[in-house]
Structure 1
Amino acid sequence: MGETAGAVPAGARRRPRAQLPVRQFAHLDAMRAAAVMLVVLAHAGLELVPGGSGVTIFFVISGFIITHLVLKEHRRTGGFDIAGFYRRRALKLAPPLLVALVLPTALYAWLVRPVSLGDFLGQVFFFFNWRYTDSQVDVLPGSIVVWSLSIEEQFYVAFALIWLLLVGRRRPATALAVLAGIAAVASAGARVALHLGGASADRIYFGTDTRLEAIAIGVLAAVWYARTTEQRDAAERAGGEGAAGAPAWWGRDRVLVLAVLLYLGSLLVREEFFRETVRYTAQAVAACLVVLWGLHGPTGRIGSRVLAGMRWKPVQLLGLASYSIYLLHLGAGHALTALFGELPGPAGVALRVVVGTVAGIACWWLVEEPVARWHHRRRAGRRPAAPAAPVPAGQASG
């Protein structure tokens, strides 16, 4: 549900556009695909599927990609185009949101029954998670999923303003990392304080303060990756060998295995205090380990096979369409119920999964992709033309 990154891991080959190229890091698209399918399966009726962990994965990826992009811009230009930042966010978010939320809500309110104006405004202006902390809202059926989008957008607004203040200072990336570390610790501490104070599970689950940790961990990963990349490039320019500061062991199988074990452990421990506090940290750290593993690897036999699966075109497609799938899947399930009644059993689950996923892919193909191509053409048209190469003496036409 974040922006796209314009790079691939070192050593990875770019694929032609006709073959669904990796516009982002391949493993991040695969992580998005896994995250959105966890959510889709859980909402389809598979209660054992940890759909909430998919949201945490999304948060980590969003924090990483946004930070990666602004650090890349800063290395290239020395500044920060905050207007361009918000413009890209609007072009990414608004068209699918119009199709999946605004227009259907208007039709539903007109043809079926009115919804809460305050709740709807919360969805559109990204404060819906604070109205949803007690799970008592009145909105278009299936549109409650935008609560997590509200948290991300609140972060993006604050992040851009903070980065604008830091970018002109000495070592802005270091300052950003310090702030992200403070935010992560404060967020984890807020969960503990709220839980011990008797707050509801909904307050902890939907609060921006309590869920900011995962995004902040993604920010820290991006700052670390940028620093190791700069060190590697400096070593290469100096004629050195290897990637200074980017240890090869990040790409080893043990890192991937550790991430999987940490994630599974977060699901197996059912004690209440752990689930309301430490669970979120464990899942965010596990996701961060996979992010870093993919950036510096893989170097092991298991990891090579896993990454090959991550690059499988259907997986990449699900990752690219994950935002639209996330927006539409639950509403599509409610529409099925309204048309055909309850659909129990495995067949009902499968139908809700397929219809919700296909609806999201269609929205990505018909809405997100055309807007992205238009924006790309617009940006390309604004770039200054490269100066013409000088004509060698004696070859100029008379």
Structure 2
Amino acid sequence: MTPPQPFGSSYAYVPELDGLRAVSIAIVLLSHWGLGRIVPGGFGVTLFFGISGFIITRLLLAEWQARGRIDLKAFYLRRAVRLLPAMLGFVLLSCLALWAAGLRPPGWSLLGGLFYMTNYERIWLEQGTGLATFPNPFHILWSLSIEEHFYLLFPLLLMLTLRRGGFLPWVVGLILASQAWRLLLRAACGPGGMWEGMTPVCGVTLEYRLYLGTDTRLDAILFGCLLAWLASRPTPWVQHLLRHPATLVAAALLVLGSLLYRDPAFRDTWRYSVQSLAILLGLGALLFSPAAGWLRALLRLPPLLLLGRMSYVIYLTHWLAFCIACHWQGIAITDESQSFPLEWYLVSLPLTAVLAAAFYWGLEKPVARLRHRMRPSGVPGIAQASPVT
């Protein structure tokens, strides 16, 4: 089976990326549904970040190559149309669920969710709902905050580097800086460190500071951006690397090693870079290696494609269903990887399916058709682009 796309930038739809999104959301779901000690939910989010960086950069590069410019206003408008309807619907439904439980929506969490600051609200405040059996539904918005912080500046910086040259050293420099900053924070904010106890820098807990910060996690998105750049300018060594059968194997081994090596210092710092590098290699091999034909065929299966297209609304609604099920069953969350009784699943799983279906067909699909009409004209592959992704 030949690779689905030639090297280069295009708006053309690549179904394998939706299949990979399905894998990402499945990892997150299984982790939150009681398998957190076995299934690494954090890796699912890191995979989302890498896919996002690749897709957005690929689309922006295609627009630049076709038109010689990037329409920043149109880009931000498309992002708003893509994300806001489902997010605002989720916030409204979460508020109604809290009120129905006799709770007031936590003020800082609500503001953080509406203004894409949930990650730092959690780092500095970690505000709960005031009831142990009702987790904070807005906390799931932390990863959206990281992405929106990143994409607020990235298109502008990409355009500047395309005009002046130097994208490769710029993105590699930021990747290295993000890794170095994690190492510094862990050393300085840990026991006996020079910043120990300084909440504005170190957060309420160091683990959350390193895991949730935009400044500490942006390299996961940048690795995806880097892959899109390398694919748009395929030198012989890049083509050889991404098409070689050993590249996919190397990516799998890097992920496996990052999960099996349990040293706390590694897990807080190097793990994110190792996994992001593995995603760059694995995604590149998936898209461009003839040896990955079996994997592309698997990711093109219709159930996976649908799950991937629904991944955004599933990500939002599964956590609201999680919170409602905990309250319904009177289960206090003491450990993110704890298991649940059968009755909990009989509430959480059907509610996730109902809410996700309502959000997808009631909000996502109509809005996606509008966003599809907003895409730039004259860009390669625009006629084949999916209206949903």
TM category, shorter: 0.7 to 0.9
Structure 1 segments unaligned to the other structure (5+ residues)? 1-6, 12-21, 232-243, 384-398
Q: 1:38 and 2:24 equivalent?
A: no
Aligned to 1:194: 185
Change (3 A) 1:134 1:269: farther
Aligned to 1:218: 224
Q: CA deviation at 1:156?
A: 0.5
Matches within 5 A, 1:71-150: 71-105=61-95, 108-109=98-99, 112-133=102-123, 136-138=126-128, 141-150=136-145
Aligned to 2:366: 370
TM-score normalised over the length of structure 2 = 0.81
**What is the CA–CA distance in structure 2 between the aligned matches of 1:145 and 1:27, rounded to whole Å?**
26
Q: CA deviation at 1:335?
A: 1.8
Change (3 A) 1:103 1:377: same
Contact 1:33 1:318 in 2 (8 A): yes
Matches within 5 A, 1:200-279: 200-228=206-234, 247-248=239-240, 250-279=242-271
Contact 1:9 1:294 in 2 (8 A): no
Change (3 A) 1:92 1:181: same
**What is the CA–CA distance in structure 1 between the aligned matches of 2:97 and 2:323, rounded to whole Å?**
15
Change (3 A) 1:246 1:207: closer
Contact 1:27 1:291 in 2 (8 A): no
Partner secondary structure for residue 45 of structure 1:
helix
Q: CA deviation at 1:185?
A: 0.5
Structure 2 segments unaligned to the other structure (5+ residues)? 130-134, 191-201, 332-338, 379-389
Matches within 5 A, 1:159-198: 159-167=154-162, 169-171=163-165, 175-197=166-188, 198=190
Partner secondary structure for residue 334 of structure 1:
helix
Aligned to 2:195: none
Aligned to 2:286: 294
Aligned to 1:50: 40
Q: CA deviation at 1:142?
A: 2.5
Aligned to 1:321: 310
Work out which of the residue numbers 340, 348, 357 in structure 2 matches 1:344: 340
Partner secondary structure for residue 291 of structure 1:
helix
Change (3 A) 1:371 1:71: same
Q: CA deviation at 1:205?
A: 0.7
CA deviations on 1:171-198 (whole Å, 9 max, x unpaired) are 3xxx233221111101101111111111
Change (3 A) 1:250 1:269: same
Contact 1:135 1:202 in 2 (8 A): no
Aligned to 2:385: none
Q: CA deviation at 1:356?
A: 2.4
**What is the CA–CA distance in structure 1 between the aligned matches of 2:240 and 2:185, rounded to whole Å?**
40
Contact 1:248 1:296 in 2 (8 A): no
**What is the CA–CA distance in structure 1 between the aligned matches of 2:315 and 2:348, rounded to whole Å?**
13
CA deviations on 1:134-174 (whole Å, 9 max, x unpaired) are 5621367332110011010000001123234445x243xxx
Aligned partner of 1:290: which letter? Answer: G
Equivalenced residues, count:
345
Q: CA deviation at 1:39?
A: 1.1
Q: CA deviation at 1:201?
A: 0.9
**What is the CA–CA distance in structure 1 between the aligned matches of 2:232 and 2:210, rounded to whole Å?**
32
Aligned partner of 1:196: which letter? Answer: A
Aligned partner of 1:333: which letter? Answer: F
Aligned partner of 1:182: which letter? Answer: G
Work out which of the residue numbers 47, 52, 59 in structure 2 matches 1:69: 59
Contact 1:32 1:58 in 2 (8 A): yes
Contact 1:266 1:283 in 2 (8 A): yes
Change (3 A) 1:10 1:227: closer
Work out which of the residue numbers 138, 149, 153 in structure 2 matches 1:154: 149
Q: CA deviation at 1:115?
A: 2.4
Contact 2:123 2:209 in 1 (8 A): yes
Q: CA deviation at 1:341?
A: 4.5
The answer to which of 355-364 and 117-126 deviates more is: 355-364
**What is the CA–CA distance in structure 2 between the aligned matches of 1:358 and 1:23, rounded to whole Å?**
31
Aligned partner of 1:156: which letter? Answer: Y
Aligned partner of 2:148: which letter? Answer: E
Structure number with greater CO (CA < 8 Å, separation at least 6) is 2
Q: Percent identity?
A: 35
Partner secondary structure for residue 29 of structure 1:
helix
**What is the CA–CA distance in structure 2 between the aligned matches of 1:135 and 1:37, rounded to whole Å?**
29
Aligned partner of 1:27: which letter? Answer: E
Q: CA deviation at 1:294?
A: 2.0
Q: CA deviation at 1:311?
A: 0.7
Q: CA deviation at 1:347?
A: 6.8
Contact 1:115 1:138 in 2 (8 A): no
Q: CA deviation at 1:346?
A: 5.8
- When Rg is computed on C-alpha atoms for both structures, the one with the higher figure is 1
